[in-house]
Amino acid sequence: MKWDFSFIWTAFLDLLPALPTTLYITAVSVSCGFVIGLIVTLSRMYKVPVLSQIGTAYVTFVRGTPMLTHLLIVYIGLSMLLDHLSDKFGWSFNSVSIPMIGFAYIAFSITAGAYLAEVIRSGLLAVNKGQLEAAYSVGMTTFQALRRIVFPQAFAAALPNLSNSLIGMLHGSTLAFTVSVVDINAKAQIVASTNWKFPEAYLAAALLFWGLTVLIERGTALLEKRINVYNRGGVA
């Protein structure tokens, strides 16, 4: 086999149509995961009975198992459940009605939720207790205190971890090929095998992911600079 550098560029262009799929999966899983994570964290912080225990078990289990197993279990389990129900009640809606990417959305949101729960929690913990007390002392309600004082500071503290989670989910989205979703990775496989140029195709895919990751990192750094203005102490 001969090296074909120009094919890296060709492959790169071939991969681009699959880029939106990768970005959709990442965006959906991180946004839904954030909502799940927030619910879990708040229910654990305020010790909501049952919900907090379920939350803990969920976070523990998901973090202790590979993302791939989440996807496979959700895909197969949910399909079985749906088909069983639609059989029983005579629905026309069954597992085939859900597009494959839907399973990836659901499964990866579950994965992201567990990791983001921890990120959110560590962000909230980073806020000094005195901040909440000070907010109360000027007469704020709990809701006001959380929204105006605690959350903004927690967000600043959690930003690096949030960025990592986003990158993690971007990279994790490559698993979607197991449920036949054509993301960048699956596309690279197709490009590689149809042209019989494996190294070049994967190099192109790697470069694409690398670029996206660096973009997220740079963006985070910029954002961090802007929101951390208050942290710039005046210590000479």
Chain contacts with another protein (rule: CB under 8 A): 1, 3, 44-45, 47, 52, 56, 59-61, 63-70, 72-73, 76-77, 79-80, 83, 95, 118-119, 121-122, 125, 159-161, 163-164, 166-168, 170-172, 174-175, 185, 188-189, 192, 198-199, 202-203, 205-206, 209-210, 213-214, 216-217, 220-221, 224
Amino acid at 181: V
Exposure b/e, 125-158, CB count within 10 A at least 16 = b: eebeeeebeebeeeebeeeebbeebbbebbbbbb
Residue 10 or 213 having the CB closest to another protein: 213
Whichever of 139 and 171 has its CB closer to another protein, that residue is: 171
Closest CB to another protein among 68 and 134?
68
176 vs 107: CA distance, rounded Å = 10
**Residues 6 or more apart whose Cβ sits within 8 Å of residue 210:** none
Contact 149, 69 (CB under 8 A): no
Q: Are 204 and 8 in contact (CB under 8 A)?
A: yes
Cβ 29 to another protein shortest distance, Å = 14
Q: Considering the complex, what minimum distance in angstroms separates the CB of residue 174 from another protein?
A: 4
**Smallest gap, in angstroms, from Cβ of residue 139 to another protein?**
26
